[in-house]
Amino acid sequence: MKQPLAYVHPAAKIAPGVVIDPFVTIDQNVEIGEGTRIGSNVTILEGTRIGKNCTIFPGAVVGAVPQDLKFRGEDTLAIIGDNTTLRECVTVNRGTAARGRTVVGSNTLIMAYSHVAHDCIVGDNVIISNATQLAGEVIVDDFAVIGGGSLVHQFCHIGSHVMLQGGALVNKDIPPYIKAAREPISYAGINSVGLRRRNFSSETIREIQEIYRYLYLSGLNISDAIERIEAELPATNERDEILQFVRNSKRGVVRGYM
């Protein structure tokens, strides 16, 4: 259902059951899945793909060209998954030649005034709180929770099930399952409350705690800690995920609190 005061380009693909409020602008080369609602004064620009049953609140802008001086008008996308909510004045830019797309996953909530820059990959079931700013090519894995007013440096990687304090300045990668806090941003224990809410067993939580004791509380450097973990702790999905994350970190992982 489209209000007469909204503009929808004739070439846009709008599924049945989409609600489009007044003063919305929808450009060409846009696809919107069924059951989605587009609030008033939302602008959806070329190259945007929005899934089913999403809610986009007034003032949001999705698919604007990247704020990257290297961008040369290449054909790129901004993709929003199913059941995702973008609150007031959220901005999601489309990708550049680097990745070709900016992706926000399914069942994700991005709160008001937050920005997702070009080529970011935001996973499923993520919560990004008010006024958070993700610079270009940031990765946020599934079930991460980012506190309000956080600033995340370009190319950083935030692991799954992370809890990041509000107002954080993130310039290093944050491994899975932990809380990150303080200034400079540091390891602050594992996210045990979040893990219990997601039905991780007490045994698994203890195993994750033990891994991070080696990484952050043993006095070992990262390389030696990884060797000890592989030699002394049993292989589990969680152990292997943490070790792969740390090994693949390009910016280096956050350190323990000093």
Catalytic residue among 51, 136, 147, 159: 136
**Residue 95 is a catalytic residue:** no
Give me the phi and psi of 165, to 5 degrees please: -65, 155
Catalytic residue among 21, 119, 141, 173: 119
CA distances 157 to 72, 154, 171, Å, are 26, 9, 9
Catalytic residue among 115, 118, 157, 161: 118
Of 38, 53, 50, 52, nearest in space to 7 by CA: 38
**Residue 75 is a catalytic residue:** no
**Residue 119 is a catalytic residue:** yes
Report the sign of the C-alpha dihedral through residues 56, 128, 199, 247, in that order: positive
**Maximum pairwise Cα distance, the chain:** 67
d(CA 243, CA 3): 52
Residue 176: which region, alpha, beta or left (left: phi > 0; alpha: psi -120 to 50)?
Answer: beta
Q: Which residues contact 222 (CB under 8 A, 6 or more apart)?
A: 215, 246, 253
Catalytic residues: 118-119, 136
